[in-house]
Structures are given as C-alpha cells and as structure tokens.
C-alpha cells in the first residue's frame, strides 16, 4: 500500500507555493543532485535540458538532448546523444569561482515556473575569502522560437567591493553515458559572439551553436573573446561592484542542426545577430506558453499536491512534444535522460497521445505522422521476420527499423537474450489504435486518407500472416509473444494481444468500407500498393471471429495467456517491505514461473476497449489480477490505469492511491529512479486518470460526457477537451 503521508513531509512541502504553478527547492541536498536535475528539466518541443547548474557541480549529469539527433552505439544500435551544452556560465568573485560546493550557502531557492517555462535560482553565497554575494539565475528554452535559448544572471554585492569576472561558453564534446559522439569541425569568436560547428561521429548530423554575452546597462564593461589553443572559445567580461549594487548579464544562444537546415552554424550566427533582447525573447516565450496552457491546463481545487503534480506532468509532456517536426516522436524519458537510448516505444501512442489528441491535436498529428514516415522500416522488419505487411519496431528511432538489442551483457558478463524486438508484437496494434483514436476524436479525414489508412491496413496485413490455424481447437492462435506484462515472455495466446488484434482487424474492415465510399481513388491505390484482395478482407473477418481467447463464460475471468493459471500463486504482501521490483528480488526466471505481473495486461485491455466489457467482467478480472500486480516497483505504466479502472468500479480511495503513485513518480521519486529521466508514459497516464477516471469522461457520437467520481478531498475539477473541432468545457464539483 502506498503511504500517502510521505507527500506531507517537510521536503515535499517545499515543492509547493501559493500559486500551485511552481516547483520549489529551498534546500540544496547533494545526495538528491541527479533526481533534481530531472525534476528541473526544461524543453521547447525541439530540445530538452536537464536541470544542472550553469556553473557546474562535481559528478553532475548535464544533458541537452535534441529530437532526432541519433548516433551509432554498441548494443543499442543507435541512441539520442548528449549535445554540446549551452549552459556554461562561470562567475569569479575576487578570483574565487562561485560554486555550490565551495564557500558557504547562506540562502538557496530553485524554482521551476510551470506557467512560464522558466527555471530560476537564488543563492546568497559567502566565498571562501568571506565575500558575500547574491546571485539570481534564470533560463528558458524559447517555446516561441525553438532555436533560441537564454540565461540571465543578476549579481548583487552584499559586502564586497572589487572585481567580478564572468566567463560564458559551451561544452563542445560531452559524452553520452561515457560514449563519445561529437567532433568539433570549427569554432571561433568575434567581438561579443562565439560559435561552434560540430558533427556526430557516425550519423554525420551537424550542429551549429552561437552565443553572445550582454552586460545590461553597463557602458564601461567590455566583452571580449578568450581563445586558448585546444580549448573552446569563451566570452569574458570584468565588472567592478560595490555593496548593494546589482549587475545583470544575459547569455543569448542560438542552435540549429542539419536535420532542419544544411548550414546550421551559419544559421545560428545569422539568427544570433538578429536576436532581440532577453526581455523580448522572454515575452514571446511566455505568450507561447500561455496559449498552450489555455487549452491544456487542468484545475484541481482542494488538493494542492494533485494540482501541482498534474501541471508538472503536463508541463513535461507539452515541453517535449515536437511542434515543427513530424519525423520524430517522444521517448519514454522525454528529452531528460538517456535510459532506453531515446528509442520510441508504445508509451507514446497509448499513454501520451490521448492528452495531445484532446488538447493539442496538431501535436498529436505530428507524432502519428512519425509512424507513417517509419512504415518502410516496419515493412523491412516484417520481411526480415518472414511476415507480410508492416511490423512496427518494439524500439524505433529515425528509420523505424528495429533497434531493440537482441543480446545484452548480464550481471556476470554472460549474454542475455532480449526477445522484445522479435515478439512483443502488440506494438503493431497499439499504433493502429492510436491512429484510429486520433481520427475518431478529430475527424481529420485528410490525415486518415493520406497516412492513417495505410498504417492501419498494412499492420492488419501483418496479422494475417502472423496468426496460425489450430486444427484441434478450430481457432486461430498467436503464439510466442510478449504482452504488456513483460515478466512473462514467449507465451502463447496473450489475451491483450489477441483481443487487440481482433479489434484491429474489425476496425481495418470498417476503415476500408469508409475509404471505398469516401475516397475510392485512394482505396484503389492502396489496394495495389498493399496487394489487398477481396478474399483477404474476408479472411480478416474470419480471423477476428475465431481468435483464441480463454475466458470463463460464467465468471468472465480471462486467462492472461495459455498456462498462466497453472503458474505458482504468490502473496505479494509476504515480501513487504521492499525497495525493488519482485523481479529484482526473485530473478527473471523465478518470476516468470509465478503469477506476478510487472504491469496490468488483461486490465489494460479492459481499459482500452472498455466498451466491450461490462462492470461484472471488469470486477472479476480486477479482483484476480490487481493483487498479483507489482504496483510499487513494477512498471510505472500501471498505476494510472489501475486508477481509472478503480474509478469505474466506484473505488475512489483505491483510485487515489494508484493516482498519487503515478502523479508523484518524478516529483517525489517514489520509484527511486527519477534520476534517469522523466517517466513520460506515467505523466500521460496521470492526465488520463483524471479525465477518464475521476471525471468519468466517455466519448460518445455526440461528443464527450462526464460522469464524475472525484476523490473526497477534491472540491472542483476543471478542464477542456477538443472534439471534432469544438471545445467542450468541464467544470465539475464534488
């Protein structure tokens, strides 16, 4: 059971201030350094920058990650790389460098303003020599202009009179988990500008970055380029300060890659020269965030932790969703960390997309179009595996080819076989499901005609070649798969996969009928391209009607896969208290022989296809599978789904426990792994838990309706949803 009292601890009380829009850190704790770097991540739909300090800190994990900038790597094939850092900002007081690990910290506060998209920090620092100075840092990655980044530093002397030196620059060749990916092609500086031209070692993606340093209101302070051989150039200025005097410095940075423009270094310089002041950039950035929040904000009254947590989770998803690029998607750790190598999973389609479909449909369209652009890779994978049609990669990157490693080194150096890339095939239907949901909600016929239909139909062709006829049972089997519950691999007739495939084939037939009637020319072209014959379409219907699903006709209980009920039953309470997953405690092999779920499988199915299952069937399966799920340290994808289904079963207290487990996963580090990056799927699930769980929204042919079941402490829930180009406002009270 989740101990909700943890959220009332003194440390977590610091998270909240009176506006419910700010994440606060009022005490610097080096032991939480990497967790807080994740929490204070900024993004603008183009890049993400972890919340490291501008001046650096020993053993920190700085990272700026740009959508689509992959480079080759061992084992994982390719990975999103750590790009040259735009943050370095060094201040020396009487020759002593300001750092959080030197001198004495007299006051400290760091703030992420979610409404404005700004990270700021206030520090009162006494240098080793006894000089007291106050610093105010703030930075943002412009949402109004994705190629502009900015830092402002205000320095106020308390008791020091003398010289302060400021030096800004880049970190040109950072490592990505100890792997080198960059080479510097050229770099230089002139007047108050410096620039960098880099290239990835294998994928040959070029990056151009430029920066200028402005001393605001200081006519006497000059900025010059410091060029030392074998080092990246920096910009340096020296300032005379006295007590109660404040000096303000601004670092404006521009950044491009060859993914957008052939000459990124030149583009960065041109943009930098024309860049407006910090204040002007900031005003445009704030206005852009205001427009986003107008459509996507969720207001909760009566529960400040829930209010802050939903805004935080929304912020991290809205800050990473690509706005001008439909050839990239959102990785499981957003652009805030390197776990999973920045590859794209089903997390995006099933957990993240619903938020965007209903509040930012243009961004949802971008993400789905990524799947259209990667169809060729999906077809290559199907062919390599001996199937027809399109078989989406379990882990996808730039091309859509499978990048899941087949072998990884184990703890003792042995090679461990990873089967997900070969047989976790439910991804195929997850993509089709998301495409269908987008179309049903937006009515975007043009996208369905040009992109979505080909996705749904060619992935249906795959299923036709993947199923096997079982003569004994007179049914179709889907053998040797992995369902969402990855504690059990190489299973036959996984219920989630089989029922979703049934839905997929039935939906593909309905889509084909629409296409023939609405766009006959397109239907003819697709029939030729995908080799669709009338007898195939008949076969799809036959497969859908005869797929094997082991469900008790009396109780409604569905077996997760063939043989699951024969596995050893385990009481998870016997293993409490614990701080790791059940698989981590028992080992992979032992866990696979037990009825222990990493994440909901049958229950996930009942959420996605909730109109197909009545309440009695849901209750039966909930009572069986929920106690067997590792809620605390299994998959972070599970708690939000459990919250929704608990609402469906009129168990709001149980729902709230699951909800908070998801809502605070990064802010309170409830799984002790937030240092790896944002839990993007959980963030999307939190929004779904509120909208489809507590608000009880159902999508009907006449638009969305709400049947609320709010937690007892929520007095109001307010949000808006877009349905077929019309906004629907919901203002629910307890």
Token readout for 191 is 């007047």
241 and 157 Cβ atoms separated by less than 8 Å:
yes
The pLDDT score that the predictor gives to residue 2 is 36
- The candidate with the shortest Cα–Cα distance to 141, out of 49, 4, 15, 68, is 49
Average predicted confidence (pLDDT) for the chain: 96
Q: What is the pLDDT of residue 411?
A: 83
3-state secondary structure of 98: coil
Average pLDDT over residues 491-520: 98
- The DSSP output letter for 690 is I
Query: 45-94: per-residue pLDDT in tens?
Result: 999 999 999 999 999 999 999 999 999 999 999 999 999 999 999 999 99
Check pLDDT > 70 for residue 453.
Answer: yes
Please state, in angstroms and rounded to a whole number, the distance separating the CA atoms of residues 324 and 309: 27
pLDDT of residue 18: 45
Model confidence at 228, pLDDT cuts 50, 70, 90, reads confident
CA angle 298, 303, 305 (to 5 degrees): 80
- Active-site residue flag, 726: no
The answer, yes or no, to whether residue 5 has pLDDT greater than 80, is no
* Residue 8: predicted pLDDT: 46
Residue 3 CB neighbours (<10 A): 8
Q: How confident is the model at residue 229 (pLDDT cuts 50, 70, 90)?
A: confident
Quick one: average pLDDT of 678-682? 98
pLDDT tens-digit map of 551-610? 999 999 999 999 999 999 999 999 999 999 999 999 999 999 999 999 999 999 999 999
Residue 14 pLDDT class (50, 70, 90 cuts): low
What mean pLDDT comes out for the span 478-493? 98
What are the C-alpha distances in Å from 385 to residues 63, 381, 419, 536? 36, 6, 13, 21
Q: Tell me the pLDDT tens digit for each residue of 339-378.
A: 999 999 999 999 999 999 999 999 999 999 999 999 999 9
Residue % of the chain over a pLDDT of 70: 97
Residue 631 region by backbone torsions, left for phi larger than 0, else alpha for psi between -120 and 50, else beta: alpha
Residue 264, CB-side half-sphere exposure with 13 Å CA sphere? 21
Taken in order 574, 577, 582, 585, the sign of the CA dihedral is negative
Kindly tell me if the per-residue pLDDT of 616 is higher than 60.
yes
Burial of 279 (0-12, 13-18, 19+ CB in 10 A): exposed
Catalytic residue selected from 486, 559, 654, 676: 486
Contacts of 276 (CB under 8 A, 6+ apart): none
Tell whether the model's pLDDT for residue 9 goes beyond 80. Answer: no
d(CA 421, CA 260): 30
- Model confidence at 217: pLDDT above 90: no
The token pair at 610 is: 């909730």
pLDDT range class, residue 12, cuts 50, 70, 90: low
CA 116, chain centre distance (Å) = 20
Residue 221 in this model has a pLDDT that exceeds 90: no
The helix or strand, by DSSP H or E, that contains position 460, with its residue range, turns out to be helix 453-466
> In whole angstroms, what separates CA 69 from the centre of its chain?
16
Report how far residue 88's alpha carbon sits from residue 46's, in angstroms, rounded to the nearest whole number.
20
Phi then psi for residue 169, to 5 deg, are -170, -155
Are the beta carbons of 334 and 48 closer than 8 angstroms? Answer: yes
Please give the Cα distance from 428 to 417 (Å, whole number): 22
- Summarised one tens digit per residue, pLDDT across range 136-186 is 999 999 999 999 999 999 999 999 999 999 999 999 999 999 999 999 999
Tokens of 357: 């479909």
d(CA 42, CA 58): 21
Q: Find the DSSP H helices in 319-387.
A: 347, 353-359, 361-373, 375-384
Helix (H) or strand (E) holding 193: strand 193-200
Distance of CA 253 to the CA centre of its chain: 25
Structure tokens at 246: 């404040």
Specify the pLDDT at position 219. 63
Which neighbouring-strand residues pair with 139? 119, 151
β-pair partners for 227 = none
Q: What is the pLDDT of residue 150?
A: 98
pLDDT value at residue 410: 86
Residue 1 is predicted with a pLDDT of: 31
């Amino acid at each position: 059971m989740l101990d909700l009292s943890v959220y009332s601890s003194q440390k977590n009380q610091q998270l909240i201030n009176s506006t419910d829009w700010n994440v606060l850190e009022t005490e610097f704790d080096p032991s939480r350094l990497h967790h807080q770097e994740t929490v204070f991540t900024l993004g603008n739909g183009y890049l993400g920058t972890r919340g490291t300090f501008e001046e650096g800190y020993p053993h920190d994990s700085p990272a700026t990650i740009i959508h689509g900038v992959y480079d080759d790597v061992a084992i994982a094939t390719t990975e999103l790389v750590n790009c040259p850092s735009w943050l370095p900002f060094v201040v020396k007081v009487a020759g002593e460098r300001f750092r959080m690990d030197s001198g004495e910290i007299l006051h400290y506060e760091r703030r992420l303003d979610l409404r404005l998209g700004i990270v700021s920090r206030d520090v009162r620092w006494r240098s080793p020599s006894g000089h007291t100075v106050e610093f105010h840092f703030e930075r943002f990655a412009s949402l109004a202009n994705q190629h502009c980044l900015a830092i402002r530093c205000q320095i106020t002397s308390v008791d020091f009179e003398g010289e302060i030196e400021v030096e800004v620059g880049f970190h040109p060749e950072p490592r990505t988990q100890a792997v080198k990916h960059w080479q510097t092609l050229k770099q230089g500086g002139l007047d108050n500008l410096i620039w960098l031209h880099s290239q990835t070692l294998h994928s040959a993606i070029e990056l151009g970055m430029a920066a200028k340093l402005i001393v605001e209101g200081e006519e006497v302070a000059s900025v010059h380029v410091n060029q030392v051989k074998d080092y990246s150039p920096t910009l340096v200025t020296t300032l005379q300060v006295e007590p109660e005097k404040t000096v303000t410095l601004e670092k404006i940075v521009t950044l491009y890659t060859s993914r957008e423009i052939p000459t990124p270094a030149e583009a960065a310089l041109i943009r930098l020269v024309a860049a407006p002041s910090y204040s002007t950039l900031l005003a445009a950035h704030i206005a852009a965030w205001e427009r986003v929040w107008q459509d996507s904000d969720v207001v909760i009254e009566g529960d400040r932790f829930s209010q802050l947590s939903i805004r935080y989770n929304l912020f991290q998803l809205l800050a990473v969703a690509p706005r001008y690029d439909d050839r990239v998607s959102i990785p499981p750790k957003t652009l805030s960390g390197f776990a999973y190598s920045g590859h794209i999973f089903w997390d995006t389609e099933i957990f993240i997309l619903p938020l965007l479909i209903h509040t930012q449909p243009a961004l949802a369209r971008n993400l789905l179009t990524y799947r259209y652009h990667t169809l060729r890779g999906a077809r290559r994978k199907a062919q390599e595996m001996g199937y027809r049609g399109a078989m989406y990669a379990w882990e996808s990157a730039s091309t859509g080819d499978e990048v899941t490693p087949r072998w990884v080194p184990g703890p003792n150096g042995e090679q461990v076989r990873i089967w997900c890339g070969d047989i976790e095939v439910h991804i195929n239907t997850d993509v089709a499901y998301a495409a269908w949901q987008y179309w049903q909600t937006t009515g975007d016929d043009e996208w369905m005609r040009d992109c979505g239909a080909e996705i749904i139909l060619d992935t249906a062709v795959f299923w036709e070649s993947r199923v096997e006829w079982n003569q004994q049972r007179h049914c179709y089997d889907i053998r040797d798969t992995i369902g969402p519950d990855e504690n059990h691999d190489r299973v036959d007739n996984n219920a989630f996969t089989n029922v979703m495939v049934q839905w997929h084939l039935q939906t593909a037939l309905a889509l084909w009928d629409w296409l023939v009637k609405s766009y006959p020319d397109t239907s003819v072209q697709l029939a030729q391209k995908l080799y669709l014959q009338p007898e195939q379409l008949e076969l799809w219907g036959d497969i859908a009607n005869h797929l094997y699903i082991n469900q008790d006709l009396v109780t409604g209980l569905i077996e997760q896969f063939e043989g699951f009920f024969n596995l050893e039953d385990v009481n998870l309470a016997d293993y409490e208290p614990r701080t790791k997953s059940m698989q981590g405690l028992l080992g992979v092999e032992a866990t696979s022989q037990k009825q222990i779920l990493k994440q909901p499988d049958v229950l996930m199915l009942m959420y996605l296809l909730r109109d197909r299952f009545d309440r009695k069937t849901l209750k039966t399966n909930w009572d069986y599978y929920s106690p067997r799920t590792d809620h605390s340290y299994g998959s972070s994808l599970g708690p939000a789904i459990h919250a929704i289904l608990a609402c469906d079963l009129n168990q709001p207290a149980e729902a709230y426990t699951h909800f908070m487990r998801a809502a605070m996963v990064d802010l309170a580090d409830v799984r002790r792994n937030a240092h790896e990056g944002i839990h993007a799927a959980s963030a999307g699930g939190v929004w779904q838990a509120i909208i489809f769980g507590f608000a009880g929204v159902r999508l009907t042919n006449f638009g969305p309706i709400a049947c609320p079941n709010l937690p007892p402490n929520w007095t109001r829930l307010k949000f808006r949803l877009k349905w077929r180009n019309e906004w629907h406002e919901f203002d629910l009270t307890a």
